[in-house]
Amino acid sequence: MSVFRSYTKSLVTSSVKIAKMGFSFALDFLPRSPIASRIWPSTDDRGRVPTGFERAEPATNGADPLSPSGEPEDRPASEEPVTADGTRLPAMEELRFIKLKENATLPTRGHDDDAGLDLYAAEAALITPGVRVSIGTGLAVAIPEGLAGLVLPRSGLALKSGVTLVNSPGLIDPGYRGEVRVVLINTDPNTDFHCKPGDRIAQLLLVPIATASPMQADALDTSARGGAGFGSTGR
């Protein structure tokens, strides 16, 4: 009986040692638990323990749980725009305007993610049917190098009043520092359009440009379309 007990005790002891060795061996190959890391909190603000499938907030020591070194990583706030010829432009967060008239209104966006900035009239005008009028915004703008400002019609104004831009789109070059003016035309055959200061009359869109140098060539490469132009694709 004593021999059996001794044998059983030895067997249990050996099993425990083997289990410990296996666990220690596995720890060397398993990814480290986020709970055990010093840069992860043990619980979140609702008392839950983060799992490997959740991103916990970095600890107060400023370490970044997604950085291999644990140090904060520099991530650009926004991607730099690229022009058509591949020139990389600096990220831009501000567009500088100056007021040339006291009643001028700075451009605004109807929604945060709108591409265009609404331009406002700084003077009154009466536009009768078929007539075009230049209306000032009372603003000057500095378009950054590598970009161009396109002045576009407002769809609501065109639909409701038949008012649009004669030269659509109007172009603002980076070097222009004069007043931004909008040339409106009333296409409605019967109704006058009364423009008042503060009315939204157009929108400004910034686009990247390529400043390629013109050169004379002996020939142009061929294309499937060739010289086919107006009406070549049918109705």
Q: Is the pLDDT of residue 150 over 70?
A: yes
In angstroms, how far is CA 101 from the centroid of its own chain? Answer: 31
Q: Which residues, 6 or more positions from 58, have their beta carbon under 8 angstroms from its beta carbon?
A: 39, 64, 65, 72
- 68 is a domain residue: no
Can you tell me the mean pLDDT for 197-223? 96
Residue 99 vs residue 74, higher pLDDT: 99
103: domain range?
A: 97-208
Other Cβ atoms within 10 Å of 101 Cβ, number: 14
- 164 is a domain residue: yes
Average pLDDT, the chain: 78
- 59 is a domain residue: no
Instruction: Domain count for the chain, please give it.
Output: 1
User: Confidence band (pLDDT; 50, 70, 90) for 183?
Assistant: very high
- 88 is a domain residue: no
Residue 113, domain CATH:
2.70.40.10
pLDDT digits (tens, 9 = 90+) for 124-133: 999 999 999 9
Can you tell me the mean pLDDT for 2-9? 53
- 197 is a domain residue: yes
CA dihedral 82, 145, 107, 163 (to 10 degrees): -80
- 224 is a domain residue: no
Residue 90 vs residue 148, higher pLDDT: 148
- 42 is a domain residue: no
